[in-house]
Structure 1
Amino acid sequence: MLRLALSGSLPAAALLALAACSGGGGGGGGGSGTIVTPTPTPAPSATPSPTAGFDTAEYRASIGAVSMNAVTAYNHGATGLGIKVAVIDTGIDIDSPDFTGRIDPESADLVGAGTLDDANGHGTAVAKLLAARRDGAGIHGVAFDATIIAYRVEPACTTSCFLRLSAVAEGVDRARLAGARVINLSMIGDSAPAADMRDAVDRATAAGIVVTICAGNEAQAQPQIWGAALANDAAIARGLVVLVGTVTATDTIQGFSNRAGTSADHFITAYEGSCSAATPLVSGALVLLAQANPSFSGAQLVDRLYSSARDAGAVGIDPIYGRGVIDLTRAF
């Protein structure tokens, strides 16, 4: 594992910590976390026939999808087809068969790295949980037919991974113009968002786009400041910024997961090993809902997501689990 450290190439004010791809994380100083390189992409096999059914070994290995009962959505014809979702991160493995034909041409390197290709693996791992293709091997993404708009916002992420704040804001604006229904931000920050980020989120939510943000892996009673400040500001969030925490297979909050705190109205949880990994599960669920309900506004998508969640902890919205645990059974 690699501990995220401040990059010497940029001032601290221009950087945003990348959230963990693996569990653990204690500490919480400086917005740091841990990451691991994702497992190698399995060799592709023949795409299963749609008539073969969706409750397969590949689906069962996709633990986040199973926890949210995504098979219910698949059986109703929702797979993410035709829906665009933005992943603003360290880039994406442009050669991975998991994404063949589904990386939107508007995808871009926003930091002058010279390539969209992912040198670290975090962005690719996030994108796989969200939308890796269904091919009968390994796991598939929650919304395995969705189109990914990938933006690389880290210039040289190898042993230290901090995202350039101005590039993240630019990515949010570009995603809006490129037609994204959902924007995934698997990242954390322990300082208030700058004006350009607030403005970009304002424009995105005004257009009805839902923004999902990792709540943090520091076992804190409150989500990380950066995401919470965006979600809690009704004037710019419009109820469309969703903070994501992490639960176990038994719907118990992970020990390292930040809690809902005073952001409970905008907080939901999913089963994975970190909020970086749980956030694309929530994004994928929103994509499935968007495909199944093409006339829905962003507010209606979020309302369906929240109203169908499994209750956990204290009855109703609470300061640990917020809206509860994502579940697509009632949503469909």
Structure 2
Amino acid sequence: MVFTPASALRRAGSAVLALVLLACCLCAGLVAAPAAHADEWRDKQYWLSESGITKAWEVSKGAGVKVAVIDSGVDAGHPDLKGAVVGGYDASGAGQPDGQKSVGSKPEHGTLVATMLAGRGHQPADAKPSASPGPAGQGPDGIVGVAPEAEILSVSTWLGSTNPSGKSDQDQIPEAVRWAVDNGAKVINISLGSTTPQWPQSWDAAFLYAEQKDVVIVAAAGNRVGGNIQVGAPATIPGVLTVAGLDRKNTASVDASSQGISIGVAAPAEDLLGGLPGGSYAEWAGTSGSTPIVSGVAALIRSKWPTMSAEQVINRIVSTAKDAGVPGKDPLYGYGILNAEAALKDDVPEATANPLGSMAEWIRVHRRGNPATPSPLPTADVPSAVPTLPEATVPAAKAPSQRDSAISAAVVIGFAVLFVAIIAAAAVQLTRAARNPALARDEAETGAVDKVEARRSP
């Protein structure tokens, strides 16, 4: 891991983090979607069936669970969110007190996320009373979210551009997390990301607070096309369930995902569909869309088992994921591809701890047990949460074969022999020079020692 010097971070840290902590996807841009019939909308929501969500609805639809969407604000007036948004808060200082005004550089982002998470669909204006319900028991038009009976808390933040209120991400993010926890959120969705694995020390206490209050936090891994080669904060924070992105072939998305060892699970990230403020729709892509899919599954689990701990919820999601890439946990897929049906139906052994780590333990080791002291900027002397890989490799490279290992070993041995030969030749030359300076001078002029080195090279 290569860190920027502390002086440079002090000059640019807050500004850079604020700029990159924007809605971390829309990596392929937004494409406005024209009006369409119900079947067309349903056909585009492929993740509902392919990720096992429709089967998971046989067990739970998320009733009674509040999910906080920390984002750019959620338009509660969208037809597919009617009755879904039950409260909110503005952490930006530039929005409405209820968090439902769209703010920041990507004002539409929060509504896209919320509709994918807890959209309820809607009846068309000319529908007759006998119109057939959608697969979630909702109207036949619009977006049906992964947890269509969950409730949304909209927590608005201004990220990605200069905040007119002057509040930075260092103030907004911890304030948003604390408010969500204090107002009953059992799941927090953070579809935001940065290009650095570090986070301001001012965030420590808030994420520790969420951990102590038994709240599941789900965060986006980020997207390569947006500059996120490796996973960035807050997805590097221990205990957070980090979501990577998949393409339509269920392989790691080249554009709409990043990589890092903090990734917990992978979910669809391309050809997504969500609602826009004002009631329209858009096609989009990125791990910002993968994240509410996983947050929705967490809500389904918490609805089915209200007393299940956050660490057990996360363990249930990652342990039932379908392994992909290299065997076992890897930096592209984490524990594997989301399987919502298995997460709701399989027997899962109880975990002794959160498989993705503990913020309390990280603070004890790296902050010397003092999470409350604010630090205005991340600095080079503060270790990152989890080291991530420096370069993207999609798809994941295969494990080396025995032949490759043998060749590598032979190369190493060859270099070792060459090094010993050079040292030995140099020692001989020095000895001879000490005994006979004239002879050494003659050999230096004819290049005799170089010939010996060449002759001993493998």
| Global fold match (TM > 0.5) | yes
Q: Work out whether residues 37 and 121 of structure 1, in 8 Å CA contact, stay in contact via their aligned partners in 2.
A: no
Identity of aligned residues (%): 30
Please state whether the residue corresponding to 2:311 is helix, strand or coil. Answer: helix
Matched, 1:176 2:175: no
Establish whether residue 79 from structure 1 lines up as the match of residue 61 from structure 2: yes
**SS of alignment partner, residue 243 of structure 1:** strand
Q: Deviations over 1:266-293 (max 9, x none)?
A: 4211012211111111100110111111
Give the aligned partner of residue 201 of structure 1: 207
Q: Residues 156, 226 of structure 1: CA spacing in aligned structure 2 closer, same or farther, 3 A cutoff?
A: closer
Equivalent position to 1:267, from 260, 264, 267: 264
Q: How does 1:109-258 map to 2 (within 5 A)?
A: 109-115=90-96, 116-119=100-103, 120-134=107-121, 135-154=139-158, 164-191=169-196, 192-218=198-224, 223-231=230-238, 237=239, 241-258=240-257
Question: Cα deviation per residue 1:177-234 (whole Å; 9 max; x = unaligned)?
Answer: 1111111111111232112212111110111111111111016896333134313xxx
Aligned to 1:96: 78
Residues 121 and 194 of structure 1: is their aligned pair in 2 closer, same or farther, counting only changes over 3 Å?
Answer: same
Contact 1:61/1:138, CA 8 A, preserved across alignment: no
Q: For this pair of structures, how many residues does the alignment match?
A: 289
What RMSD in Å do the two structures reach over aligned CA positions? Answer: 3.0
Instruction: Calculate the TM-score normalised by the size of structure 1.
Output: 0.78
Residues 1:300 and 2:312 aligned together: yes
* Structure 2 partner of 1:29: none
Amino acid at match of 1:301: V
Following TM superposition, by how much is the alpha carbon of 1:250 offset from its aligned partner in structure 2, in angstroms? 2.0
Map of 1:283 onto structure 2: 295
Q: Distance in 2 between matches of 1:248 and 1:283?
A: 19
**Unmatched runs of 5 consecutive residues or more in structure 1:** 1-9, 25-34, 46-55, 232-236
Which residue of structure 2 aligns with residue 64 of structure 1? 47
SS in 1 for 2:116: helix
Q: Provide closer, same or farther for how the CA distance between residues 163 and 314 of structure 1 changes in structure 2, counting only shifts above 3 A.
A: farther
Residues 1:142 and 1:82: Cα distance change in structure 2 (over 3 Å): same
Question: Counterparts of 2:326 and 2:221 in 1: how far apart (Å)?
Answer: 20
Question: How far off is 1:114 after superposition?
Answer: 4.0
Computing the radius of gyration from Cα coordinates, the structure with the larger value is 2
Long gaps (5+) in structure 2: 1-12, 122-138, 270-284, 346-458
Work out whether residues 193 and 220 of structure 2, in 8 Å CA contact, stay in contact via their aligned partners in 1: yes
Structure 2 CA distance for partners of 1:43 and 1:37, relative to 1, 3 Å: closer
Assess if the C-alpha contact under 8 Å between 1:186 and 1:276 holds in 2: yes
Q: 1:319 aligns with which of 331, 339, 346?
A: 331
Q: Which amino acid aligns with 1:127?
A: A
> Take 2:180 and 2:213, find their aligned partners in 1: how far apart are those partners?
11
Return the letter of the residue paired with 1:36. L
